[in-house]
Amino acid sequence: MTNGALPPLAAAVAYFPVITSLPETAVCLRCGYLLRGLPRNVCPECGKPFDPQDALTWANPPVGWTAKRVARVLKVRERAQAPGRKERVLTILATVAVLVKIAVSPFGFPSTIIVGLFAISVFVACGLDYAACLMAIGGLKKRRIDRLPGARRRGWRTLPVCAALVGAALVYPWPLAVRFAVSYPALSRAASQARAGTLPRNIG
pTM of the model: 0.57
Three state DSSP letters for the chain: CCCCCCCHHHHHHHHCCCCCCCCCCCEECCCCCECCCCCCCECCCCCCECCCCCHHHEECCCCCCCHHHHHHHHHHHHHCCCCCHHHHHHHHHHHHHHHHHHHHCCCCHHHHHHHHHHHHHHHHHHHHHHHHHHHHHHHHHHCCCCCCCHHHHHHHHHHHHHHHHHHHHHHCCHHHHHHHHHHHHHHHHHHHHHHCCCCCCCCC
Answer whether 107's CB lies under 8 Å from 173's CB.
Answer: no
| Residuewise pLDDT in 10s, the chain (204 residues) | 444 444 443 333 333 344 446 787 788 877 778 887 888 889 888 888 888 887 777 877 766 666 677 767 666 666 667 777 888 899 999 999 999 998 887 777 788 888 989 999 999 988 888 887 777 777 666 655 555 444 355 677 888 999 999 999 989 989 988 988 888 887 787 777 777 766 555 555
Domain edges within the chain: 8-79, 85-172, 174-204
Predicted confidence at residue 202, as pLDDT, reads 57
Q: How far apart are the first and last CA of the chain?
A: 83
